[in-house]
C-alpha cells in the first residue's frame, strides 16, 4: 500500500478524509498554527496530483485544525536550514511550495478552502489559488512578508495584483490585516459563511457529489451571506489607496501618503505610513516591482519570477534582511530589526534588478513548473 | 494507430458530453471536442531569453512602461472585460463618436491625476525625453486616439510653444499645458492646403494703433481643417497664418489664439465645426476653425526668429522668407531654446541653418516641423499587436487534416501560413530597431544632424506606416472570421491606423523628398568632386559591389551579400535618377518639373534608401548583442527581412541586380527560413512586451471566451 497516496495516520501533517466523491484535507500542525512545512507541502502536492488522476474524486475541501487555517510558511525551519548549511535546502522548500501553488491554480477540479481563522503568507498560497475560498467571522488574512525582510511570495504577485485598483499593492506592502468581510469585499474570498454553519457546508458539499463549479458555487451560496464591512474598514479607503499606491515607486507612494497626512489628521494614514517605514526597504522595493510585473503575467511566470527572488533573498548577497527579520520577529522577538540597507534611497535600481535575474551559480536553474495541459479557463484566473 | 486513437478520443468525448448533458441537465461541461491548448504548453521551450530580448526591443524605461500598463489595467475607465477567464482592456469602439471623445478625455484626466505627464514639457534632458516616449508608446498600445490626442496637446501645441516661442511664452504656457490647465491644439492644415503650408491662406494683420494682430479666414478653403482637439475640448490653438504688415506679406508665422473660454464656450469671432465621424480615431475630436477678425495681443506671435515691434516694424535679421524659415527651425534641433526675446539672431545660427537647408523650400515647412516634433509618433505598435495575436491564434487554431482520419493541422504548421506571417514578423523586428534608432537620433539632435533626422524620419515614417497597414491586413485575413471582430483588435486597428500614411506628411510626398535630398547630396558631391559623407551614402565612394552569379544558401545569409545588394540597388538608382532628371533639364524642363516626371525612379530610390538604412541599423543592433542565442535568432530574422525584400521588390529583377536564377535561389531560401523561424514564433511575439490584457481573446483561450456559459442570458 506504499503507493497509495491516501495512507492515513494521526501524526500526519495533513489529515485525509474520504466522503463520497469529496476529499477533505486538514492541515494538522495546530500548535504551529498549521505552518506550512516541507513535509506538508510534499504531502499536499502528492495528494492533489493523485486526486486529479482519480476519476472518483470530484471535489477537494481544504481546512485547518485549530484556530488557524495556516499562519504561513515554516520560515524558522527554513532559516535554520540555511544558517546550518546550504541555502539550496531553502530553495528546495520554496520550489516545492510554488509548484503546489501552481498545481492548485491550474487544478481541473474544484477546491474549496475553508478559511476559518488565520490565513497568512504560505497559508494564502495554498488557498487563494483554488477555485473557492470561504471566509468566516474568524478569518484573518495578511501578507506580512515585508516586515520579515521577505516579500509576498507563493504566487501573491499574481493574486494581489488582481485585487481592485491598487488594493493589492496596499495589502502586499503594508501587511495590512483583513477580516472575513473584507476578504469577500476585495475578492480574496469568494464566499462568507458563518463559522457555525461550516459543518453544514461540508456535509452539503459532500452530498452535492459534483465537480461542476456552478453546482459547488450554488451549494456554498445557500449557506453564505454578505456581512457588513466594519466602519473603519480599509475597503472604505479605496480612493486614497488608489491615489497613493498607484505611484511609480515606494518613495513616491510614501510621499503621496505624507501629503495626504499633511492635509488632514488621520489615524489610518499615519499607521499606514508607520507600517511602511517599519518594513524592510529592500523588501518594499522588490515587492512593489513584483506585484507590478505580476499584474501583467500569468501565474506560471509569477511563480518563476518569485522563485528567482526568493533564491536571491536566501543567498543574502544583496541584503540579509530576511535573516534579520526572522531573528527580530520570530526568534529573539525584540521586534526591532536592523535593516541593511536601512533607507529606501540606498536600495538602488541595480540591486533590485538582481532579484529578478537568473542566479549565476552552478547547478541553479529556474523553477521548472510541470506542464499542465487542458487547463480549464476557470483555473487560469480566479480573481 | 495514433490517428485511430485520436478519433476514438473525439468520439468518446462526444458520447460522454452527451451523457453528461442528459444526466445533469445543468451547464454544459467544458470538455469540447477540439480543446484549446495554450501555445506555452504545446510549443517547444524558448531557445532564447525572452526578457533580454524585450530589453533589446523596448530599449529603455521598462519599469515606467510596466507601471503605466498597471495604471490602465486597474482602472474601470479603460474598459476592462472578462473574456475566457482573462481580463482585456480595449476601448469600446461600439460607442458613438461623442462617447469615444468623452471617455478619451476622461482617460487623459486619469493619467494626469496619476502623474503620467509629469515633466513632459518642464523636464529637461535626454532621460526625460526617453521616458516620455516610453510612456506614450504604452498609451498607444491601448488606443491610438488616446495617444494622438495627448500627442497633439503636448507635442504640437506644447512643442510649438517650446521651440517657436520665447521665454515669455514658456513661462506662461508650458507648466499650464503640462497640467492641462489649458488644452492646446495646432491649426496648420487648411481645407485647401495640407502638405504645402507655404500656400495657406489664413491672414494675420498687425495694427500698430492697438498693438494687436487681426486674424482672418478670408475664404472657405482657408478654414482650418482636421484640427485635433478643436471640435470639443481645446481652449487654445497655434494658428499658422500669413503675416501682413503695412501691406507686405512676411510669410507664414505662428500665433497663439484662445478659442474657448474656461467653461468650454467658443470665444467671440471664432466659429468651430466638427469634421464628423471618421473611419477610425473617433476618440479624437477633429474640428474646423474659422477666424473672423480675431484680435490677439502682439506678444502672442511666437517670436523665436522674427518679431514685430510695437510700432509695427518687422524685425528679423533674415530677409528671405524661406531662409527665415530655415532659421526658425534651428532651435528645434539645438535641444534647447536659448534665443532671447527679440529678433536678434546670431549670424552663426543663421549660417548653419543655411548650409543645412540647401534643399529646403517653403512647401516643406510642415514635414520639417513634423520630422522634429511629431514624427516619432510613427513608433507604432499595432503591427506588433496584430502579429502577436495572429501568431498566437495560428498556434492554437487547427484547420483540415492532411491525412485520412489524422488530426487537423495547426495553422502555423502550414508553410503557406508561415510565409504570410513570419516575413512580416522579421520586418517588424527590423523596423523596431529602426524606430529605436530614430528616437535616439532625435534625443541627441544637433544642428549637424538636422538633415539626417529629416531624411531618415521621412523615409522611415513612410516605410513603417506602410508596413504597418500591410501587416494589419495580412493578420486580419490570417485570423479568418475572428479577425473581423472588434474585440480581437486587428480589424479595428486598420481603421485606427490608416491615417498614419497621411498625417505628419503624406507618405508619397515624404518619399519624394527623400529622393530629392539624396539627389542634392549627389549633385553636391559630384559638383565639388568630393566623397559622400552623410545619410549613409558613404558606400558609394567605394567600388561597386559585385553579386556572385550563383548564390548559395550561406551567401544569401551573409551580411556581406545582403549589404552589397542593398547598396548596389541604392547607388544604381541614384545614378539613374540623377541621369533622368538632368536629361529632362537638358530638354528644357525646370528642375521641379523634372522631379515630377521622374517619379518612377524616385519612388524606387526612396525605397532603396530606406531598406538599406534599416538593414544597417539591424546589423548594428545584432552586432551589439553578446548572447549567442539572441544573436542567432536575430541573424535569421535579418536574413528573412533582406530576402523577402529581394523577393517582393521588382526593382531587383527590373534593373538586373539579381539574375532570374538568383531570384529563384532567394525564393527557396525564404521558404527555408520560414521553417527555421517557425519554432521561435511564440517566443518572438512574446518579446514585444505587450501584456496579455492588451491583446485579445483569440490570442488566448478562444474556446472558453466563446463558450455558452459566457453568454449573458
d(CA A246, CA B67): 8
Mean pLDDT of B474-497: 96
Kindly determine whether residue A165 and residue B24, on different chains, have CB atoms separated by under 8 Å: no
- Contact residues, chain A, for B695 at CB < 8 Å: none
Mean pLDDT of B75-84: 93
Closest residue, chain B, to A372 (C-alpha): B41
Interface list for A 175-214 with B (CB within 8 A): 210, 212, 214
- Contact residues, chain B, for A375 at CB < 8 Å: 38, 41
State the DSSP string of A148-204. Answer: GTS---TTHHHHTTTSSTTHHHHHHHH---EEHHHHHHHTS-SEE--GGGHHHHHHH
Other Cβ atoms within 10 Å of B219 Cβ, number: 12
Q: Give residue B649's pLDDT band: very low, low, confident or very high (50, 70, 90).
A: very high
- Among B3-12, B70-79, B160-169, name the one with the lowest average pLDDT: B3-12
Kindly determine whether residue B74 and residue A242, on different chains, have CB atoms separated by under 8 Å: yes
Kindly determine whether residue B85 and residue A166, on different chains, have CB atoms separated by under 8 Å: no
Nearest CA-CA distance, residue B426 and chain A, Å: 25
- Contact residues, chain B, for A292 at CB < 8 Å: 63, 66-67, 70
Q: pLDDT tens across B541-568, in order?
A: 999 999 999 999 999 999 999 999 999 9
List CB contacts of B68: < 8 A, sequence separation 6 or more. Answer: B116, B135, B138, B139
Dihedral angle of Cα B688, B689, B691, B697, to the nearest 10 degrees: 10
Q: Which of B63, B67, B704 sits opposite A377 (nearest CB)?
A: B704
Catalytic residue among A73, A123, A175, A300: A73
Q: Is residue B31's pLDDT more than 60?
A: no
Other Cβ atoms within 10 Å of B552 Cβ, number: 12
DSSP conformation class of B153: I
Residue A380 in contact with partner chain B when CB distance is under 8 A? yes
CA distances from B516 to A285, B322, B574, B604 (A): 53, 17, 10, 12
Closest residue, chain B, to A366 (C-alpha): B49
Max distance between CA atoms of chain B, in angstroms, equals 98
Nearest CA-CA distance, residue A377 and chain B, Å: 5
Kindly determine whether residue B35 and residue A374, on different chains, have CB atoms separated by under 8 Å: yes
Nearest CA-CA distance, residue B683 and chain A, Å: 14
- Contact residues, chain A, for B40 at CB < 8 Å: 298, 300
Nearest CA-CA distance, residue A373 and chain B, Å: 6
Question: Looking up cell 490565513, which residue turns up?
Answer: A119
Nearest CA-CA distance, residue A332 and chain B, Å: 38
Interface list for B 35-54 with A (CB within 8 A): 35, 37-38, 40-42
Interface list for B 70-129 with A (CB within 8 A): 70-71, 73-75, 84-87, 113-115
pLDDT tens across the length of chain A (383 residues) = 344 444 444 468 999 999 999 999 999 999 999 999 999 999 999 999 999 999 999 999 999 999 999 999 998 888 888 888 788 889 999 999 999 999 999 898 999 999 999 999 999 999 999 999 999 999 999 999 999 999 999 999 999 999 999 999 999 999 999 999 999 999 999 999 999 999 999 999 999 999 999 999 999 999 999 999 999 999 999 999 999 999 999 999 999 999 999 988 899 999 999 999 999 999 999 999 999 999 988 898 899 999 999 999 999 999 999 999 999 998 899 999 999 999 999 999 999 999 999 999 888 999 998 887 555 443 443 33
- Contact residues, chain B, for A295 at CB < 8 Å: 69-70, 73-74, 691
The residues that bridge with B185 in the sheet, in sequence order, are B237
**Which residues of B line the annotated binding site?**
189, 228
Nearest CA-CA distance, residue A255 and chain B, Å: 13
Residue A375 in contact with partner chain B when CB distance is under 8 A? yes
Q: Is residue B371's pLDDT more than 80?
A: no
Nearest CA-CA distance, residue A151 and chain B, Å: 18
pTM of this prediction exceeds 0.90 = no
- Strand duo B224-228 + B236-245: pairing: unpaired
CA distances from A22 to A70, A276, B498, B677 (A): 21, 43, 57, 48
Kindly determine whether residue B63 and residue A248, on different chains, have CB atoms separated by under 8 Å: yes
Kindly determine whether residue B74 and residue A374, on different chains, have CB atoms separated by under 8 Å: no
Q: pLDDT tens across B198-242, in order?
A: 889 999 999 999 999 999 999 999 999 999 999 999 999 999 999
Catalytic residue among A74, A81, A97, A145: A145
Chain A interface test: which of B32, B70, B78, B118 (most A C-beta within 10 Å): B70
- Contact residues, chain A, for B74 at CB < 8 Å: 164-166, 242, 246, 295
Closest residue, chain B, to A358 (C-alpha): B49
Active site annotation includes A153? yes
In SS3 terms, B154-207 reads as: HHHHHHHHHHHCCHHHHHHHHHHHHCCCCCEEEECCECCCCCCHHHCCCEEEEE
- Strand duo B307-308 + B184-187: pairing: unpaired
The distance from CA A274 to its chain's CA centroid, rounded to whole angstroms, is 23
Residue A155 in contact with partner chain B when CB distance is under 8 A? no
- Contact residues, chain A, for B709 at CB < 8 Å: 214
Q: pLDDT tens across B516-543, in order?
A: 999 999 999 999 899 999 999 999 999 9
The distance from CA B590 to its chain's CA centroid, rounded to whole angstroms, is 34
Residue B648: exposed, middle, or buried by beta-carbon count in 10 A (0-12, 13-18, 19+)? Answer: exposed
Residue B16 in contact with partner chain A when CB distance is under 8 A? no
Please report, in angstroms and rounded to a whole number, the separation of the first and last CA atoms in chain B. 43
Q: Is residue B360's pLDDT more than 80?
A: no
Residue B8 in contact with partner chain A when CB distance is under 8 A? no
- Contact residues, chain B, for A289 at CB < 8 Å: 63
**Which residues of B line the annotated binding site for FAD?**
189, 228
Q: What is the pLDDT of residue B374?
A: 52
Kindly determine whether residue A165 and residue B75, on different chains, have CB atoms separated by under 8 Å: yes
Active site annotation includes A149? no
- Among A83-87, B154-158, B653-657, name the one with the lowest average pLDDT: A83-87
Amino acid at each position: 500500500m506504499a503507493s497509495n497516496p491516501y495512507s492515513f495516520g494521526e501524526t500526519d501533517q495533513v489529515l485525509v478524509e474520504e466522503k463520497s466523491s469529496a476529499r477533505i484535507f486538514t492541515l494538522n500542525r495546530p500548535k504551529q498554527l498549521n505552518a506550512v512545512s516541507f513535509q506538508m507541502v510534499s504531502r499536499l502536492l502528492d495528494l492533489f496530483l493523485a486526486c486529479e488522476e482519480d476519476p472518483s474524486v470530484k471535489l477537494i475541501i481544504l481546512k485547518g485544525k485549530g484556530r488557524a487555517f495556516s499562519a504561513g510558511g515554516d520560515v524558522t525551519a527554513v532559516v535554520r536550514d540555511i544558517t546550518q548549511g546550504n541555502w539550496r535546502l531553502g530553495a528546495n522548500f520554496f520550489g516545492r511550495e510554488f509548484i503546489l501553488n501552481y498545481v492548485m491554480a491550474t487544478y481541473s477540479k474544484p477546491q474549496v478552502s475553508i478559511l476559518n481563522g488565520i490565513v497568512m503568507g504560505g497559508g494564502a498560497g495554498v488557498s487563494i489559488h483554488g477555485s473557492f475560498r470561504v471566509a468566516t467571522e474568524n478569518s484573518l488574512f495578511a501578507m506580512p512578508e515585508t516586515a520579515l525582510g521577505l516579500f509576498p511570495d507563493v504566487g501573491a504577485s499574481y493574486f494581489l495584483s488582481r485585487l481592485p485598483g491598487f488594493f493589492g499593492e496596499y495589502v502586499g506592502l503594508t501587511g495590512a490585516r483583513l477580516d472575513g468581510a473584507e476578504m469577500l469585499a476585495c475578492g480574496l474570498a469568494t464566499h462568507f459563511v458563518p463559522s457555525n454553519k461550516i459543518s453544514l457546508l461540508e456535509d452539503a458539499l459532500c452530498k452535492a457529489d459534483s465537480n461542476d463549479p456552478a453546482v459547488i458555487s450554488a451549494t456554498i451560496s445557500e449557506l453564505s451571506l454578505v456581512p457588513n464591512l466594519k466602519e473603519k474598514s480599509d475597503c472604505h479607503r479605496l480612493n486614497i489607496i488608489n491615489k497613493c499606491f498607484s505611484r511609480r515607486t515606494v518613495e513616491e507612494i510614501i510621499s503621496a501618503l505624507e501629503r495626504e497626512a499633511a492635509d488632514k489628521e488621520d489615524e489610518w494614514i499615519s499607521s499606514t505610513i508607520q507600517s511602511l517605514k517599519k518594513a524592510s526597504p529592500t523588501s518594499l522595493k522588490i515587492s512593489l516591482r513584483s506585484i507590478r510585473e505580476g499584474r501583467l503575467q500569468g501565474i506560471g511566470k509569477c511563480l518563476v519570477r518569485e522563485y528567482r527572488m526568493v533564491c536571491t533573498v536566501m543567498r543574502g548577497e544583496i541584503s540579509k534582511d530576511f535573516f534579520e527579520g526572522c531573528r527580530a520577529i520570530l526568534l529573539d522577538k525584540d521586534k526591532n530589526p536592523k535593516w541593511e540597507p536601512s533607507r529606501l534611497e540606498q536600495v538602488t535600481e541595480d540591486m533590485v534588478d538582481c532579484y529578478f535575474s537568473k542566479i549565476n551559480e552552478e547547478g541553479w536553474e529556474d523553477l521548472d513548473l510541470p506542464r499542465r495541459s487542458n487547463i480549464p479557463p476557470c483555473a487560469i484566473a480566479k480573481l | 494507430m495514433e490517428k485511430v486513437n485520436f478519433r476514438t478520443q473525439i468520439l468518446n468525448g462526444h458520447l460522454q458530453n452527451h451523457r453528461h448533458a442528459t444526466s445533469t441537465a445543468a451547464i454544459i461541461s467544458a470538455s469540447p471536442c477540439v480543446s484549446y491548448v495554450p501555445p506555452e504548453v504545446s510549443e517547444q521551450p524558448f531557445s532564447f531569453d525572452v526578457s533580454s530580448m524585450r530589453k533589446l526591443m523596448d530599449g529603455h524605461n521598462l519599469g515606467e512602461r510596466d507601471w503605466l500598463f498597471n495604471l490602465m489595467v486597474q482602472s474601470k475607465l479603460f474598459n476592462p472585460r472578462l473574456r475566457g477567464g482573462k481580463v482585456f482592456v480595449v476601448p469600446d469602439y461600439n460607442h458613438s463618436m461623442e462617447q469615444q471623445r468623452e471617455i478619451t478625455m476622461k482617460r487623459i484626466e486619469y493619467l494626469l491625476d496619476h502623474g503620467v505627464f509629469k515633466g513632459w514639457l518642464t523636464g529637461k534632458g535626454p532621460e526625460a525625453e526617453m521616458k516620455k516616449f516610453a510612456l506614450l508608446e504604452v498609451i498607444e498600445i491601448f488606443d491610438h486616439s488616446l495617444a494622438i490626442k495627448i500627442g497633439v496637446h503636448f507635442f504640437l501645441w506644447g512643442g510649438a510653444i517650446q521651440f517657436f516661442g520665447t521665454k515669455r511664452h514658456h513661462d506662461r504656457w508650458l507648466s499650464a499645458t503640462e497640467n492641462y490647465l489649458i488644452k492646446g491644439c495646432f491649426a496648420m492644415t487648411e481645407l485647401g492646403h495640407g502638405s504645402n503650408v507655404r500656400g495657406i491662406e489664413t491672414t494675420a494683420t498687425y495694427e500698430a494703433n492697438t498693438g494687436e494682430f487681426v486674424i482672418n479666414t478670408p475664404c472657405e478653403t482657408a478654414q482650418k481643417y482636421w484640427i485635433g482637439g478643436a471640435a470639443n475640448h481645446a481652449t487654445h490653438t497655434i494658428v499658422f497664418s500669413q503675416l501682413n504688415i503695412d501691406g507686405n506679406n512676411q510669410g507664414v508665422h505662428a500665433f497663439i489664439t484662445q478659442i474657448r473660454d474656461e467653461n468650454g464656450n467658443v470665444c467671440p469671432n471664432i466659429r468651430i465645426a466638427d469634421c464628423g465621424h471618421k473611419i477610425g480615431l473617433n476618440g479624437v475630436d477633429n474640428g474646423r476653425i474659422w477666424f473672423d477678425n480675431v484680435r490677439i495681443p502682439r506678444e502672442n506671435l511666437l517670436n523665436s526668429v522674427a518679431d514685430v515691434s510695437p510700432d509695427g516694424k518687422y524685425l528679423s535679421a533674415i530677409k528671405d522668407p524661406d531662409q527665415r524659415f530655415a532659421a526658425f527651425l534651428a532651435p528645434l534641433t539645438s535641444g534647447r531654446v536659448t534665443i532671447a526675446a527679440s529678433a536678434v539672431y546670431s549670424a552663426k545660427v543663421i549660417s548653419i541653418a543655411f548650409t543645412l537647408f540647401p534643399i529646403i523650400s517653403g512647401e516643406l515647412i510642415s514635414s520639417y516641423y513634423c520630422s522634429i516634433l511629431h514624427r516619432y509618433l510613427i513608433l507604432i505598435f499595432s503591427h506588433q499587436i496584430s502579429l502577436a495575436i495572429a501568431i498566437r491564434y495560428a498556434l492554437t487554431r487547427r484547420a483540415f487534416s492532411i491525412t485520412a482520419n489524422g488530426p487537423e493541422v495547426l495553422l502555423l504548421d502550414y508553410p503557406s501560413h508561415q510565409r504570410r506571417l513570419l516575413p512580416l514578423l522579421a520586418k517588424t523586428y527590423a523596423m523596431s530597431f529602426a524606430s529605436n534608432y530614430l528616437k535616439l537620433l532625435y534625443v541627441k539632435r544637433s544642428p549637424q544632424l538636422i538633415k539626417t533626422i529629416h531624411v531618415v524620419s521621412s523615409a522611415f515614417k513612410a516605410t513603417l506606416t506602410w508596413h504597418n497597414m500591410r501587416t494589419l491586413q495580412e493578420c486580419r485575413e490570417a485570423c479568418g472570421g475572428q479577425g473581423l471582430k472588434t474585440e480581437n483588435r486587428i480589424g479595428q486597428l486598420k481603421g485606427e491606423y490608416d491615417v498614419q500614411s497621411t498625417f505628419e506628411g503624406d507618405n508619397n510626398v515624404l518619399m519624394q523628398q527623400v529622393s530629392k535630398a539624396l539627389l542634392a547630396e549627389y549633385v553636391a558631391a559630384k559638383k565639388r568632386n568630393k566623397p559622400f559623407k552623410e545619410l549613409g551614402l558613404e558606400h558609394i565612394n567605394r567600388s561597386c559591389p559585385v553579386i556572385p552569379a550563383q548564390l548559395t544558401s550561406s551567401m544569401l545569409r551573409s551580411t556581406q551579400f545582403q549589404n552589397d545588394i542593398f547598396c548596389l540597388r541604392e547607388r544604381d538608382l541614384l545614378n539613374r535618377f540623377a541621369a533622368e532628371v538632368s536629361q529632362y533639364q537638358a530638354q528644357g524642363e525646370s528642375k521641379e518639373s523634372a522631379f515630377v516626371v521622374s517619379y518612377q525612379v524616385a519612388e524606387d530610390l526612396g525605397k532603396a534608401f530606406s531598406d538599406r538604412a534599416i538593414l544597417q541599423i539591424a546589423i548594428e543592433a545584432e552586432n551589439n548583442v553578446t548572447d549567442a542565442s539572441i544573436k542567432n535568432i536575430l541573424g535569421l530574422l535579418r536574413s528573412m527581412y533582406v530576402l523577402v525584400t529581394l523577393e517582393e521588390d521588382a526593382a531587383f529583377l527590373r534593373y538586373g541586380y539579381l539574375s532570374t536564377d538568383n531570384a529563384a535561389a532567394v525564393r527557396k531560401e525564404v521558404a527555408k527560413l520560414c521553417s527555421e523561424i517557425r519554432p521561435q514564433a511564440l517566443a518572438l511575439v512574446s518579446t514585444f512586451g505587450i501584456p496579455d490584457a492588451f491583446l485579445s481573446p483569440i490570442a488566448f483561450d478562444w474556446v472558453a471566451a466563446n463558450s455558452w456559459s459566457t453568454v449573458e442570458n
